[in-house]
Amino acid sequence: MQKLTSILLVDDDPTTNFLHEQLLLSLGVTETCLVAENGAEALTLLADYSETSDLCPDLVLLDVHMPVMDGIDFLEAYLQPPYPPPVVIVLTTSVHARDQARMASLPVADWVNKPLTRAKVNDILRQHFQRQLPAEQLA
Amino acid sequence: MPAPTTPPPTAQPGFDELLETLLAASDTGLAHLKPVYAAGQPEELVDFTYERLNPAAQRLLGLPAHPQASYRAQAPADAAGLAFLRETFLSGQAGHHTLAGHPAAGQPYTLRVAAQRVGPHLVASFASAGPAAGAAAHLLPSEWPSLLAQAPVAITVLRGPQHLVELASPAMYALWHTTREQMVGRPLLAALPPAASHELALLLQAVPATGAPYLGREVPSGLGRPAGQAPGYFDVVYQPLHNAQGQPTGAVLVLTDVSEQVRGRLCTQHLNQELRRVNEQLHAANEELRANNQTLADTQLLLRQLNQELEARVAQGVREALAAEAEAERQQRQLARFFQQSPAAICVLDGPDLVYELVNPGYQQFFPGRVLVGRPLREAAPELLAQPTYEWLRQVYETGTSHEGHEVRLLVNPTGDALPQERYFNCVYQPRHDEQGRTDGVLAFALDVTAQVLAQQRVEALQAEAQAEAARRAQERETSYQVFEQTPAAVALMWGPEQRFEYANPAFGQLFPGRALRHRTLAEAVPEAVAQGLVARLDQVYRTGETFVGTEVQFTPQLPDGQPLRTGFYNLTYQAYRENDRILGVLVFCYEVTEQVRARQAMQNSAQQALDLAQDLRTTNEQLRRTNVDLDNFIYTASHDLKAPIANIEGLLLLLREQLPAEARQAGLVPRVLGMMQGAIERFQLTIAQLTDLAKLQQAHTQPAEEVNLPALVEAVRLDLAALLDEAHAELRVSLDSCATISFAPQHLRSIIYNLLTNAIKYRSPHRPLAIDLRCLAQPGSTVLEVQDNGLGLTADQQGKLFGMFRRLHDHVPGSGMGLYMVKRIVENAGGTIVVHSQLDEGSTFTVSFPN
């Protein structure tokens, strides 16, 4: 399977980031996970690792509730140039109706419930990157 | 008819008159003109003067009979006319000319002029050729026959001594009863039929033998008339014609039938004569009557004189007779006057039958229109029989003693037609005696004293009434007094400028027990009233007369020792007491309303309490609402914030399990501890899931209702549950014919059906194949949805707990215990109901009722 260039993990919970990084690395989806603890850091990282960079992220896994700049604010800012559009997947525990309404018009590729699992990762790869995990990884 | 002859050289007597008549009568204008020569040149003819114009010429030319101005002066523009006259005069030949003129007054004219010199004179005739309306109006000589043909008069022109007919108008032929062919060119009288010839000859008898013109008026003639008819009348013009030399050439005869006019006139004359005759007769008759009248008047005069003599003699005789009787009558009259004029009713009754012998008018007035004299009383005045007066009269007659009655009541009938009236009389009945001293009659005097009696009665009645009134007033006073005495209201009368108690009823006294009130002022008797302003009010009412009304006046009476009694409330009225408009005191009405006031105050208090309570409830409600919002937020936050850490723990546990060496994973308690940790995580996650469901329910109110296609919705749910239904080998029977739609929030309706069907599948019986009936019934006011299964069923105890939160009555299948609780909440939030009927081990029926 061809690996993704890098994946940007945006969550204020370091444990969650740690677990997701471990899962993605162990499944061999990518070699590099960039980690941001809020929307603002994420925007900075995206600016640092732009299209020209070798580590420009193919996928952003985004939490909704975060201090400093939450997921929705991030998405609204992200709409502005110069950022190119990688695939954004929102990871949530539960979705409040008002949040869902706000994000309806934002460029979200998909909604996935936490915690991330191998099956969910495989679904994301299949639906958005036309690839899948090797069979032995899914066992 | 005489043959025409040369005219005589001189006018004969009568000719002038004839000529004048002809000139006057002729419709042809005739003028006599004289030439005017230039001064000094007798041969140079320059003008003409008018010597005379006949009436026709005057009319045609618009000139007087003797115009002063010459022809040129009259018509300076008419050079042609002047030239014509001049040439005619100079030539001596008859000349013809057409003359156009424009007189100052009247219409323009065109005249045919014929002129002929006669010695030093010129004679001209004018005939109208019609108005000068243009060339067509000029008559040419060739048109004359046409003119003749239309002439309304009979004309003929005769030529020569034989009177050959040259021409004649149709009217003339008609008179002659001939035609033109029979007459023209033939001698007139010879050519005519004999009758016409005879008549015409007669008609022309008067034509002078001299051949002079002849004018006959209203000449009677049978010409043109059938034989036997009355003759007609004609105006006849016979005009001899002469040539330029004055020799006779013929004649013109013009006959105008004037029969109608003549007959009309004759008729009028006849009528006039008749009238005159009648008038004369009437006049004669009148004369006769007048003569008769005179005779009568004379006779009357004679009679009147005789009468006067007779009257004078009679008057003399009468005077003598009257004088002779005067003395005797005087005495009788005095007696009679007394009897007649006496105001009393007097009568004399004769004999035992009491026959009226004498009755004066005073008596007669009570028996109007009735004959009394000569009739017994019982017949003439039967109304008296039943009254005491009759008996008295009889007694007087029988006993011979007189009787007097005082104010005797009698029913009499003085007006005749009305009901009897009550009258009172003072009366005296006196016996009359004959020469032997025997009673032979009764003399009755009765004086009408009704007015006096009635006046007396009125006085008595008034006195009785006054006494009754006094008694009534006394009773009223007593009653009023008793009313005041017994009334629960306090009443007092304060008298005089100082307002001393004149009267205070017991109720008033009870306000101030043990105090003397009478003849004391309010300030003295009730000193505490001064401080409370009640004395000042009393003074004010006495001074101004304005009533004071105090509502719920607060007053605290005191005990004699100065201890205040309980405070009371009084409705108070001070009203001025007046006699003859003078204020003499003040009436005090006082009614205690303490209880009412207290009751109202209590009511107001409870109303206030109710308001306070409502306010408390509002506050509590608001707090609860805020709490609810907080709770909503809490559940959401908790479900989110708790999910993340537990997911992390689960992830970490998984990671730890992978990181542990295989032998360590199996060593000691490790496998069991790992398993227990996993179990604890799952229970935690279940609780969180339940909280999440609850959070969703908080939003249940917000979803709007809409018309939901029920069969389509059920079909969608059936598809979602297809796998479960297959696994359970369940049969789902759907019957929704009676309700195509339900008005409800679609998501909620789906939840209800999904939950009920899922429950039926979950709690199916292991002993029989599952059968589920889903039915919908439209009922008045609601739509009922039923889900019936043949599953495990519920005990009565279970049915009571079925809809509680977190109730899971079975543990062999997964479930949050939230499903039915949520269904119930959804249904009830929408105003509906849900009930369950169940039999253990037989099945359950859930009945949901949706309001329409």
Q: Are residues B681 and B722 in the same domain?
A: no
pLDDT of residue A121: 92
Residues 6 or more apart in contact with residue B42 via CB below 8 angstroms? none
- Pick from B247-256, B259-268, B483-492, B699-708: least confident: B699-708
Report the C-alpha gap between B103 and B685 in whole angstroms.
Answer: 147
Burial of residue B805, with CB atoms counted within 10 A of its CB: 0-12 exposed, 13-18 middle, 19 or more buried: middle
* Shortest Cα–Cα distance, B685 to chain A (Å): 11
Instruction: Select from B88, B120, B139 the last residue of a domain.
Output: B139
- What pLDDT shows up at residue B834? 92
One domain for residues B705 and B845: yes
The nearest alpha carbon in chain A to B636 belongs to A96
Whether the predicted pLDDT of B607 surpasses 50: yes
Asked if the C-beta of B656 comes within 8 angstroms of chain A's C-beta atoms, the answer is no
C-beta atoms of B640 and A19 within 8 A: no
Domains of chain A by start residue, with CATH: 7-138 (3.40.50.2300)
Instruction: List Cα–Cα distances, B148 to B27, B76, B98, B156, B730, in angstroms.
Output: 15, 34, 19, 9, 143
Closest residue in chain B to residue A22, using alpha carbons only: B655
Q: pLDDT digits over A23-78, tens only?
A: 999 899 999 999 999 989 998 888 888 777 788 888 999 988 888 888 888 888 87
- CATH number for B810: 3.30.565.10
Task: Tell me: do B47 and B135 sit in the same domain.
Answer: yes
Same-domain check for residues B832 and B711: yes
In this predicted structure, what is the pLDDT of residue B109?
Answer: 66
* Closest Cβ opposite residue B639 in set A13, A23, A94: A94
Predicted confidence at residue B137, as pLDDT, reads 37
Q: Does the complex come out with an ipTM higher than 0.90? A: no
Q: Which of B639, B651, B699 comes nearest A97 by C-beta?
A: B699
- Asked if the model's pLDDT at residue B513 lies above 90, the reply is no
Nearest to B250, CA basis, from B213, B297, B290: B213
B43 in a domain, yes or no? yes
> Would you say residue B281 lies in a domain?
no
Are B419 and B516 within one domain?
Answer: no
Nearest alpha carbon to residue B233 among B209, B267, B210: B267
Looking at the structure, tell me whether residues B679 and B716 fall in a common domain.
no
- Count of A-B CB contacts under 8 Å: 39
Report residue B158's pLDDT band, with 50, 70 and 90 as the boundaries. Answer: confident
pLDDT of residue B560: 67
Which of A92, A93, A115 is opposite residue B651, by nearest beta carbon? A115
Q: What is the pLDDT of residues B353-394, one digit of tens each?
A: 899 988 888 888 888 888 888 999 888 888 888 888 888 999
Q: Which residues of B260-272 are buried (b: 16+ CB within 10 A; e: fewer)?
A: eebeeeeeeeeee
| Band of pLDDT at residue B805, cut at 50, 70 and 90 | low
* B53 within a domain of the structure (yes/no): yes
- Under an 8 A CB cutoff, do B648 and A15 touch? yes
Which residues from chain A sit within 8 angstroms of residue B695, using beta carbons?
Answer: 94
**What total of structural domains would you count in chain B?**
5
Q: What is the pLDDT of residues B729-767, one digit of tens each?
A: 899 999 988 888 888 888 888 888 998 998 899 889 989
pLDDT at B788: 94
**Alpha-carbon gap: A20 to the closest alpha carbon of chain B (Å):** 9
Last residue of a domain, one of B87, B104, B139: B139
> Which one of A13, A22, A23 has the shortest CB-CB distance to B644?
A13
Residues B694 and B712 in one domain: no
Residues B689 and B720 in one domain: no
B25-67, pLDDT tens digit by residue?
A: 877 888 888 888 888 787 788 888 888 888 888 877 778 888 8
- pLDDT, tens digit (0-9, with 9 covering 90-100), for B467-504: 999 898 888 878 877 877 888 888 888 888 888 998 88
Which residues in chain B touch residue A19, judged by CB atoms under 8 angstroms apart? 648, 651-652, 655
Residue B186 domain-assigned (yes or no): no
- Would you say residue B347 has pLDDT above 60? yes
pLDDT given at position B787: 94
Average pLDDT, chain B: 82
pLDDT, residue B139, reads 40
Nearest CA in chain B to A26: B655
| In a domain? residue B717 | yes
C-alpha of B15 from chain center: 92
pLDDT band, residue B617 (cuts 50/70/90): very high
- Inspect the interface and report whether the beta carbons of A115 and B647 lie closer than 8 Å: yes
Q: Which of B53-62, B335-344, B371-380, B506-515 has the highest mean pLDDT?
A: B371-380
Residues 29-68 of A with CB under 8 A from B: 65
How far is Cα B162 from Cα B250, in angstroms, rounded to an integer? Answer: 9
pLDDT at B195 over 60: yes
pLDDT at B138: 40
CATH number of the domain residue B80 falls in: 3.30.450.20
**What is the C-alpha R_g of chain B?**
79
In a domain, B789, yes or no: yes
- B101 pLDDT band, cuts 50/70/90, is low
User: What is the C-alpha separation between B348 and B354, in angstroms, rounded?
Assistant: 8
pLDDT of residue B134: 38
- In total, chain A counts a number of residues equal to 139
Residue B157 maps to a domain: no
Domain range holding B610? Answer: 603-698
Percentage of chain B beyond pLDDT 90 is 10
pLDDT in tens, B408-430: 888 887 776 667 888 898 888 98
The predicted pLDDT at position B140 comes to: 44
Chosen from A10, A27, A91, A94 to mutate, greatest number of chain B CBs within 10 A: A94
Calpha distance B598→B601 (Å, rounded): 5
User: Do B498 and B611 share a domain, yes or no?
Assistant: no
Asked if B692 is an interface residue toward chain A (Cβ–Cβ < 8 A), one would say yes
Confidence bin at B108 (pLDDT 50/70/90) = low
Task: Say if residue B731 is in the same domain as residue B822.
Answer: yes
Q: Are residues B718 and B832 in the same domain?
A: yes
Q: Do B650 and A65 touch (CB under 8 A)?
A: no
The domain boundary residue, chosen from B530, B557, B592:
B592
Give strand pairing partners of B428: B404, B445
